Amino acid sequence: MRRIDKIIVHCSATPEGRHHTASEIDAWHRDQGFRCIGYHYVVLLDGKIEAGRAEAEVGAHCTGENSHSIGVCYIGGCDKSMKPKDTRTEAQKKSLVSLLTALKEKYPDASIHGHREFAAKACPSFDAAVEYAGIGLYVEVTENDNFVSVDEQFELPETENILEEIPNLKEMLSEHEAGETPSNPSAWGCLPLLLLL
């Protein structure tokens, strides 16, 4: 497995409320001359997490950062007139926390960022670095009442239950890392590319 020191959050730059899937993004990226979807995971409007490129493969989502990062994309990120807007549904917010928590467990040295930190873009239309700063920083609360958990400080949702709500998430991540063929189509076995959103 390659070294991962960043997890980078993106939006699909599509209008609020419009449903799209990982295989559609795969088709768009191919239409633009790329060999396949550039992201490793896609979070749909209903919170469903779809696998994109295998984690072991270099993604194509953030120029200059692809070789050592994982790319996560939520569907949306624009209002109806295509201006940047944080359009995440409650289900997407929850799934993003679940996915990022699982990825942080897997790559504890990786930091979480928004694409905008590396490019002159609005993507992902919210401040991912600030919002997700507390993910993975869990401190046990012991007998000392003054010792506040980091999750509490950042007011994260209850992460313990979150991973259970998507029971197959961890299995999905570990299978996906190995580059095994997902159930979903054409997107796999691609070469690294430079990109895009």
Catalytic machinery residues: 10, 39, 115, 121, 123
**Judged by CB under 5 A, which of 6, 10, 53, 85 binds Zn ion?**
10
CA distances from 126 to 44, 55, 121, 135, 187 (A): 17, 24, 11, 16, 27
- Indicate the SS3 state at residue 9: strand
Site for Zn ion in 116-145 (CB under 5 A): 123
Q: Which of 91, 94, 72, 114 is nearest to 159 (CA)?
A: 94
Q: Quick check: 115 binds Zn ion (CB under 5 A)?
A: yes
60 or 102: whose CB is closer to Zn ion?
Answer: 60
User: Applying CB under 5 A, does 197 fall inside the site for Zn ion?
Assistant: yes
Quick one: which segment of 5-13, 99-107, 151-159, 174-182 binds Zn ion (CB under 5 A)? 5-13
78 binds Zn ion (CB under 5 A): no
Longest CA–CA span in the chain (Å) reads 58
Helices (H) and strands (E) in the chain — how many of each?
Answer: 6, 7
Question: Which residues in this chain contact Zn ion in the complex, by CB under 5 A?
Answer: 10, 115, 123, 197
